[in-house]
Amino acid sequence: MLLAATSGLDVFMMLVIGGIVFATTFMVVYGLFNQPVEVRTSYQREAAILAGHTDRQTVFEISWLSPIMWVLLSLASGLSVPRLKRSIQRNLIASGNPSYYSVNEYLALSLLIGTVLSMLIILGGMIGGQDFNLLVTLFAWIIGFWGPIFRLSGKAKARVRVISRKIPYALDLIALSMGAGATFTEAVRTLVREDPADEFNRELSQVLAEVELGKTRNEALQNLSDRIPLESLRTIVGAILQAESLGTPLTDVLKSQSNLLRHQRSVRAEKLAATASVRILIPSVLILIAVVIIVFAPVIIRWYRGTLFG
């Protein structure tokens, strides 16, 4: 009975200590980074609602979690980490941002995951009867905070790779449609209509939407090259803008850019094939050494024991 009471008292004290540490850390961080910022619904979410995308399923839409997320959003808005925020902004744009997160919303999500993971570590230590370890808790918070950011970066890179493989074929189709008498805008609209779920077609549909909202085609194409961090796409947009300024037929420009991209891809494949033969040499040598050791192992063992000729 006394042991149970002592154990319950230890758990209560650990909870109190954990609460004090969390409250102290929160007040220190809030005091360091507190800035007069306006926390409001993100422009991405407002645009999604106006466009009819009201089915966003994120932690901000969970009713009982919403007050906590607004506190974390306020804290994320006051954090003075411009380089990190710029990196998240680029990755959100490059990944397509299907959930319409803003930079501060994604930072708030990372703060939530880091806090939850560190609290789970503390709770697991209490249940297991282990002492509170500040380093382990801090390490868990760091993993929880940076995990979503690295995941977002991976998604952005994967989407950019998919778009880079799609560009040559899209250019061929646009040039083919223009050769049949369609304008550039009509050719792009036809391409988007054929496969609206394609990642590059989604970007092209945004170009069409910007043109319909009053931007010039040059501005919309320039925004496309800014959204997708691909040097080949910047080159294509630059060639299109130069062709329009010089009066060069756009069909010829698109075909030449498509052939150039295919040539660059073939050269890159040849380089990778050349380096692959060198890289595979090391595991081949290791396998050969292992086979030789297995074959001659009995002889070596008998020679070591002095029974080779006995």
pLDDT tens digit at each of 310 positions of the chain: 444 444 555 556 566 565 665 655 555 555 444 544 444 445 455 555 554 555 567 777 777 887 888 888 888 888 888 899 999 999 998 888 878 888 888 999 999 999 889 888 888 877 877 777 778 888 888 999 999 999 999 999 999 999 988 888 888 888 888 888 888 888 888 888 888 888 888 888 888 888 888 888 888 888 888 888 888 888 888 888 888 888 778 888 888 888 888 887 777 777 777 777 777 878 888 888 888 888 877 777 777 776 766 5
**Shared-domain flag, residues 233 and 308:** no
The total of structural domains in the chain comes to 3
**Shared-domain flag, residues 86 and 229:** no
Rounded Cα gap, residues 85 and 63, in angstroms: 27
Instruction: Find tokens 């081949």 and name the residue.
Output: 284
Listed in sequence order, the residues at least 6 apart from 113 whose beta carbon sits closer than 8 Å to its beta carbon are 144, 145, 147, 148
CATH code of 271's domain: 1.20.81
Domain boundaries, position 13: 2-160
**Shared-domain flag, residues 181 and 309:** no
**Shared-domain flag, residues 62 and 201:** no
Give me the sign of the Cα torsion angle 199, 201, 205, 206: positive
Instruction: Give 157-192 as a DSSP string.
Output: HHHHHHHHHHHHHHHHHHHHHHHTT--HHHHHHHHH
CB 17 within 8 A of CB 132: yes
Instruction: Give 95-132 as a DSSP string.
Output: TT-TT---HHHHHHHHHHHHHHHHHHHHHHHHHTTPPP
**Shared-domain flag, residues 8 and 131:** yes
**Shared-domain flag, residues 51 and 107:** yes
Overall size of the chain counted in residues: 310
What's the CA dihedral at 211, 214, 218, 224 to 10 degrees? -50
**Shared-domain flag, residues 19 and 152:** yes
**Shared-domain flag, residues 126 and 183:** no
Of 29, 132, 133, nearest to 81 by C-alpha is: 29
Q: Among the three residues 160, 183, 208, which one is the final residue of a domain in this structure?
A: 160
**Shared-domain flag, residues 294 and 308:** yes
Q: Among the three residues 109, 127, 160, which one is the final residue of a domain in this structure?
A: 160
CB 118 within 8 A of CB 18: no
Burial class (CB within 10 angstroms; exposed 0-12, middle 13-18, buried 19+) of 270: exposed
**pTM of the predicted structure, to 2 decimals:** 0.69
**Shared-domain flag, residues 132 and 24:** yes
Rounded Cα gap, residues 132 and 116, in angstroms: 16
**Shared-domain flag, residues 144 and 50:** yes
At 35 the pLDDT is: 46
Token pair belonging to 159: 């989407």
Q: Among the three residues 107, 126, 160, which one is the final residue of a domain in this structure?
A: 160
Rounded Cα gap, residues 268 and 271, in angstroms: 5
Burial class (CB within 10 angstroms; exposed 0-12, middle 13-18, buried 19+) of 85: middle
